[in-house]
Amino acid sequence: MNLRRAKPQTGNATQLPLELLGGISANVFLRDYWQKKPLLIRNAIKAFVGPLSKNEVFTLAQRDEAESRLVTSVTDKWKLAHGPFSAKDFRFPRGVLWTVLIQDVQHFSYEAHELLAKFNFIPQARIDDLMVSYAAAGAGVGPHFDTYDVFLLQGSGSRRWQISQQRDLRLKPDLPLKILSHFKPTQEFVLETGDMLYLPPGVAHNGIAESECLTWSVGFRAPSQQDLSLAFLDYVRDSTSLTGLYADPGVEPARSCAEIDAAMQQRFSDLLSSVQAAANDPVIVRKFVGCYLTDPKMHVVFDLPEVPVSIKQFERLLQRRGIELDLKTRMLYDDEHVFVNGEATPDIRGSRRFLRELANRRMLSAAKCAELKPGAAMKWLYQCYCDGALTIARH
């Protein structure tokens, strides 16, 4: 089953309807709620229809390239399995509560990207993914907390959410899921189709399906200092050539041959200071941040064109049909560079507005593409096409 449907136009944050945030502006939401306190929004999206149906969710969970999970529980005994699954994996006897979860639904659906575009009042660089969860009646994944901001948007069916801003976040031991040991809910809401709940990081919550239901979760990136530091060290290793060598001219005879003395420790420290200098170099950090934020996840694979057209044909097709980013592509920019899927290219002179609009909208019309002159930008776009990062627009 092809999960791509008719492609909608992607809007900008300036078109944000007040209903999405319960009648308050994006400025008020970011000032008063973002990373501060929960917000329940009734009828955030009127007549909401999710990007995928229940059957399409089950179909997607059977695909190798989808990151899917299956959570089951019987009398508080939890099991977790990772996909891909088969249809028979979704048949359970009475009494088994089960939930299917799929990350990065935006990699498979234009409608998913359209849904994410409703949250463009927060920079795209902060948005991680759109996750969907199907839950049988009575099912959930247990009380837990997230280390990132999340919007929980109710699709078909209804789900009861219990939340608590408790400080006790200890987990039950020896479980395949991170389930809180002592969850004490202080608020409870039943979300119907189109209702939405925003939760900042660290708020304990438990969702229980009142009926079989689909819930859509917009999650935001919050890398740990540990992960970010390791990624930066990898970036420096791969992109920087450090030429210094350990040296100790004039060293004194060793008093104890197995001792690492203070002078040797200082010489190693001096060699390592170049890494700290890289972290303080704004040019290096800017490129690292753009590459890091657009770097595809480990499981992502791009489909290359089977028979690439020539660059001349590519140019003509752009001007006839337009261009769009591949569903899996991440494209961002700063004042000096354009970043696509972990790679940086200088902001191409004379094409800055074109490339930035492509990054913001994820697609450009044939009329807009006709404005682009042959040159460095066209060659760069053609290479992105050959790499599978973008395609000629489909009709």
Q: How many domains does the chain have?
A: 3
142 & 31 share domain: yes
- Is residue 203 domain-shared with residue 62, that is, in the same domain? yes
Which domain range does residue 80 map to?
13-220
Q: Is residue 376 part of a domain?
A: yes
Please report the pLDDT score of residue 235 as a whole number: 92
pTM score, two decimals? 0.91
> Do the domain assignments include residue 158?
yes
Kindly state whether residues 50 and 184 are assigned to the same domain: yes
**β-sheet bridge partners, residue 101:** 69, 133
Mean pLDDT by 10 residues, the chain (395 residues): 45 58 93 97 96 97 97 94 97 95 97 95 95 98 97 98 97 96 97 98 98 98 93 89 86 90 92 88 94 94 94 94 96 95 87 93 94 89 96 84
CB atoms inside a 10 Å sphere around CB 171: 14
Residue 300 in any domain: the answer is: no
| CATH code at position 173 | 2.60.120.650
DSSP E strands, the chain: 39-41, 68-74, 77-82, 97-102, 127-135, 150-154, 159-164, 187-191, 196-199, 204-209, 213-220, 323-325, 331-333, 337-340, 343-346, 363-364, 390-392
Q: Per the domain annotation, does 255 fall within a domain?
A: no
**Same domain, yes or no, for 52 and 168?**
yes
- d(Cα 34, Cα 90) in Å, to the nearest integer? 37
Q: Give domain status of residue 153, yes or no.
A: yes
Residues 280 and 209 grouped into a single domain: no
